[in-house]
Amino acid sequence: MKKKRAKAYLWLLLAVGLTLPWISIHFCADSPSSVLLRAVLPGLAIFGAAFLLSWAAELAQLEISQALAFAFLALMAVLPEYAVDMYFAWVAAKDPTYTSYAMANMTGANRLLIGLGWPVVLWVYWIKSRKGFISLEAEHRVEIQALFWATLYSLLIPIKGVLSLWDAVVFISIFAFYIWKASQTRLKEPELEEGPAELMARLPVFIRRVVTVALFLWAGCVIYISAEPFAEGLLEAGKVLGVEEFLLVQWLAPLASESPEFIVALIFAWKAMPSSGFATLISSKVNQWTLLVGMLPLVFSFSLGHLGQMHLDPRQREELLLTSAQSLFALAVLADLQFSLSEAFLLFILFITQMFFPSTAVRYAYAALYLILTVFLLIFSRGKLKGLKELFSLRSSE
């Protein structure tokens, strides 16, 4: 017991420690001269803060319903991604080139969750248990419903070529509907993972609530002062290393900001709770595919000082179309609430191979392939088709 407690304290101190170098530089010193440090230090701070947010959100399950806390956990876990993308959207109002960075970061994060996150959770569970599939509980159909409506609507954005305030209304309304549905699900006793969250859950109620709020405030402050320098540091590092800025922002930045929920999901999978880990990533996808997309034109308009819309160039439109097509195929895969090894390998191969072919023709070819596979899967799998039909039901999950 003492060893477990010491290990939990060590993890907590490590997460806090990752935030301290950048905090000390931000408040007490000049920005480091090294381009690499200007990207790495705020990135590490965001990484540490995301862990603190995850533990705080887990503790919140003791105060509110589990379903609502679960959605909140996913929202908090992807907060670093929000911070970076909101910064790009804010600057895009003054410098239109940043619109491409905002779209690159958003589409990269969404495709990363499905193409890498989902398969890895199943692989870890397979290594641990030798079971080659994950079954989701019926209550998780609420997340799939939200993804379904958001994905259908997202297919219109590349056609329009703009991301407007009307789009913000639609996406944020879908997110609000998702939160409302999640709050209607039945209560469950929270299963806190072994570590800092479990340790802090044993504190007296008042102290536990104070600690929970303190973790949220500390992490939020760290993310606030780190998002802008992290984003700018990545762009500077890309120029120095000769890496295309668009690709750097699309893959490296989301990989850093998505890592907390990846790690939480992998821990669940390793502890033989794969549905909890998988549901964490699905909820993160819902957050990013509804609220994050909807916030971009809002932040853009606030920065602009009047109502405006983000105009998408051809590359941004093809990236968004590819992301929408991948989401539609992923929905078809999960329509029967089952996720198998063969489906995991297919998602991963389609994701990883497209990274080596950045041309426009190949992007559209992959988007078409996702759509064809979606139709094929629904035609030849009665279980998938039946599950998809149930997505149209507005009944609350039992």
Of the candidates 337, 342, 363, which has an alpha carbon nearest to the alpha carbon of residue 351?
Answer: 363
330 contacts 371 by C-beta, under 8 angstroms = no
Contacts of 365 (CB under 8 A, 6+ apart): none
Give the predicted TM-score (pTM) of the model: 0.80
Which amino acid, 184?
A: Q
Which tokens in the block code for residue 83? 């911070």
Residue-level pLDDT, tens digit, the chain, 398 residues: 677 778 888 888 998 999 999 888 888 766 666 666 777 888 888 888 878 877 887 787 777 665 666 677 677 667 777 877 888 899 998 888 888 888 888 998 899 999 999 999 999 999 988 888 898 877 778 888 899 999 999 999 999 999 999 999 999 999 999 888 877 766 555 566 667 878 888 888 889 888 888 888 888 888 778 877 877 777 677 777 777 667 777 777 777 667 667 777 787 788 777 887 788 889 889 999 999 999 999 999 999 888 888 999 888 899 999 999 999 999 999 988 889 999 999 999 999 998 777 788 888 999 999 999 999 988 888 778 777 777 666 444 44
Of the candidates 341, 347, 324, 336, which has an alpha carbon nearest to the alpha carbon of residue 380?
Answer: 336
Alpha carbon of residue 345 to chain centroid: 20
56 contacts 260 by C-beta, under 8 angstroms = no
What CATH number has the domain spanning 2-390? 1.20.1420.30
* pLDDT for the residue numbered 172: 95
Measure the CA–CA gap between 174 and 395, rounded to whole angstroms: 15
Annotate the chain with three-state secondary structure.
CHHHHHHHHHHHHHHHHHHHHHHHHHHHCCCCCCHHHHHHHHHHHHHHHHHHHHHHHHHHCCCCCHHHHHHHHHHHHCHHHHHHHHHHHHHHCCCCHHHHHHHHHHHHHHHHHHHHHHHHHHHHHHHHHCCCEEECCHHHHHHHHHHHHHHHHHCHHHHHCEECHHHHHHHHHHHHHHHHHHHCCCCCCCCCCCCHHHHHHCCCHHHHHHHHHHHHHHHHHHHHHHHHHHHHHHHHHHHHHCCCHHHHHHHHHHHHHHHHHHHHHHHHHHCCCHHHHHHHHHHHHHHHHHHHHHHHHHHHHHHHCCCCCEECCHHHHHHHHHHHHHHHHHHHHHCCCEEEHHHHHHHHHHHHHHCCCCCHHHHHHHHHHHHHHHHHHHHHCHHHHHHHHHCCCCCCCC
* pLDDT for the residue numbered 118: 94
**C-beta atoms surrounding 184 within 10 Å:** 15
Measure the CA–CA gap between 251 and 241, rounded to whole angstroms: 15
